[in-house]
Amino acid sequence: MADTWISVPIDTDEQALYDDAVATLRALKPGWEPAEGNLDAWILRAAARLASELRDVAADVPAAILRTYGREVFQLPALEPARATVATTWTAADALGHTVPAGAQFTLRDAAGAQQAFRVQSAAVIPAASTSVAGVLAEAVIPGLAADGLSGTPEPVDALAWLAGITLDEPATSGGSDGETDDAYLGRLSALLLIQSDVPILPADFEILALTIPGVARARAADLFDPAALASLAAHTFEAGTTGWSGGASSPFNAAATISQVATAPHGGTSHLRIQTAGSVANEGAAWTPSVAATAGRTVRFGAWLRTATGTAAVKIRIGAAGDYAEASCALTTSYQRFTVDWVPNADQASIKASVSIDGTAAKDLYADDASLDQVGAYGVERAITVFVTDEAGANCSSGVKAQADALLQARREANFLVTVADPGRRTVDVAFTAKALAGYDHATVQAAAESAVAEYLSPAGWGSQVVQGQPPWAEMTHVRWLEIASVINAVEGINYVVTSSLLVNGGTADIALPAPAGLPAAGTIAGTIT
């Protein structure tokens, strides 16, 4: 995003103003020096203080004017502070039945030990013969980021004689945010003014418009991309044979089954695939091994219509390659159902496999039909654009916020533009490492700092960002780099060096591909050892 607004350089430092006044008088009257305690020095000090206060007010005027201008003329309000919320369970000391009153308060402690107050939004009833009620929503009394991300045991404020305790239903509070700073707001406003027409044309135009919606903190536009399009890699209807399918595929697609083509009761067409397992080993089934390539970071979807011959069965469907695959468990009945599983290859694959197998060792008779392998999302779609959005924490925006963003973009787009508002793809990244500490540093403190640094690096809230006047753009970063994680750890105070052989990212040392486009990482298990 281009440089945003130009701030007015107004010096409000009282000492600097005093020094400037002294320098001016020295220039006017050579040899004059202020004598502390004399009237002239007092007058200069008083004048400097008054000037500082007046300049401080003046410095706020441009921002105040532009905030009003943006709100009234462009209907772009500044983002207000938001209250953190959390669902809680209230437990009574007896089973007589009680009411958790609306407004009842408790506190949670932040990292510094300070108490942040929360209050119950709506009354909740613990029915007679029960001792607790869950899902009681509470919000922070004071809006802002200070009450966000808190965990631990709530401490009741109100004296409720029946109350035995309060617990959180969620890992931590969420949704709290500070109000928008002048720089951040004026950055958004000036970006909006960069659009020379009411009709967005360039990808940046769509990003800027999406960012005008309260609740959208980040936006990334993928030009010529349609996420709904499926590009067929291969398809099998089993009307002309079972080519590509095998009952003896290799690990991780352990498959050993009798495969035949049946011309009765197909899902569609004239025949379907029959998979008969003996039940002698776990995960018996059939695998599809066509010579199909997959690109790192691009989602591949395997799907098939499946049913049992009789009864029910639990099966797994898998898509991928050895050491890099995705799977899902499915419950089959005698009626055909469509099952799919998505997989994002971590590296380019020359030949990928898909399989259907029994989840266990039971002998089963299965049917499959209309199997397909597709690339999810199509590039190069003329006049298509997809805008990926997140909230301030890097999480998916609510459906309501996305609906608002979509409505705005649909109303402003050219008639023949295909515009989609979507959630970005994500990939969980686990990191394990061992590092040597410098002498004199506490190992536990260094470990916590290193783990926190890795988690911050992987945070979707800042991934691909370079802050410009308070407004971060979202650059495309296709991989989580092993070497960059090593650098992040090495930069932590107290770290001497990372034991490189110990650094594992998702269990290995390869870079991790993110879903394309606009993929984001999510910190999974971050486990460090400091020696």
Assess whether 391 and 291 both reside in one domain: no
Residue numbers in the chain where pLDDT is lower than 70 = 1-12, 37, 48, 51-69, 71-75, 191, 193-198, 248-252, 254-255, 466-472
Give the pairing type, strands 132-140 and 115-120. antiparallel
366 belongs to a structural domain: yes
Among 141, 144, 162, 153, residue whose Cα is nearest residue 88: 153
The number of domains in the chain is 5
pLDDT at residue 525 in the model: 96
Provide the CATH number for the domain around residue 254.
2.60.120.260
Assess whether 311 and 417 both reside in one domain: no
Of 321, 356, 379, which closes a domain?
379
Q: Which of 325-334's residues contact partners 24+ apart within 8 Å by CB, and which partners?
A: 325/252, 325/253, 329/359, 330/306, 332/306, 332/307, 332/308, 332/366, 333/307, 333/308, 334/307, 334/308, 334/309, 334/310
Assess whether 388 and 269 both reside in one domain: no
Q: What is the pTM of this model?
A: 0.64
Q: Are 433 and 489 within 8 A, CB to CB?
A: yes
8 belongs to a structural domain: no
Residue 270 neighbours by CB distance under 10 Å? 12
| Residue 187: C-alpha distances to residues 68, 97, 468 (Å) | 14, 53, 8
Assess whether 206 and 236 both reside in one domain: no
**Residue 431 main-chain phi, psi, to 5 deg:** -130, 130
Assess whether 269 and 358 both reside in one domain: yes
Of 344, 379, 414, which closes a domain?
379
Q: Are 249 and 229 within 8 A, CB to CB?
A: no
DSSP string, 70-116: HHHHH--PPPPPB--EEEEEEEESSSS-EEE-TT-EEEEE-TTS-EE
362 belongs to a structural domain: yes
Assess whether 433 and 448 both reside in one domain: yes
7 belongs to a structural domain: no
Q: Are 353 and 321 within 8 A, CB to CB?
A: yes
Give the pairing type, strands 115-120 and 105-109. antiparallel
DSSP string, 260-323: EEE-SS-SSSS-EEEEE--SSSTT-EEEE-----B-TTS-EEEEEEEEESSS-EEEEEEEEETT
DSSP string, 315-334: EEEEEEETTEEEEEEEEE-S
Of 74, 97, 118, which closes a domain?
74
414 belongs to a structural domain: yes
Assess whether 211 and 303 both reside in one domain: no
369 belongs to a structural domain: yes
pLDDT at residue 254 in the model: 61
DSSP string, 358-395: ESSS---EEEEEEEEEEEEEEE--TTEEEEEEE-TTSS
Provide the CATH number for the domain around residue 412.
3.30.300
pLDDT tens for each residue of 158-169: 889 999 999 999
Terminal CA-CA length for the chain: 43
Assess whether 310 and 371 both reside in one domain: yes
Assess whether 361 and 246 both reside in one domain: yes
436 belongs to a structural domain: yes
Cα(514)–Cα(379) distance, integer angstroms: 16
187 belongs to a structural domain: no
Q: Which residues contact 34 (CB under 8 A, 6 or more apart)?
A: 22, 25, 40, 41, 44
| Residue 234: C-alpha distances to residues 274, 366, 402 (Å) | 20, 22, 33
Element (H, E) at 61: helix 39-74
Assess whether 512 and 437 both reside in one domain: yes
pLDDT at residue 447 in the model: 96
pLDDT tens for each residue of 485-529: 999 999 999 999 999 999 999 999 999 999 999 999 999 999 999
Cα(98)–Cα(93) distance, integer angstroms: 10
* Strand-pair partners of 29: none
pLDDT tens for each residue of 400-420: 899 999 999 999 998 888 999
Residue 513 neighbours by CB distance under 10 Å? 21
Assess whether 210 and 128 both reside in one domain: no
Q: Which residue range is the domain that position 213 belongs to?
A: 195-222+384-422
pLDDT at residue 1 in the model: 36
Assess whether 93 and 46 both reside in one domain: no
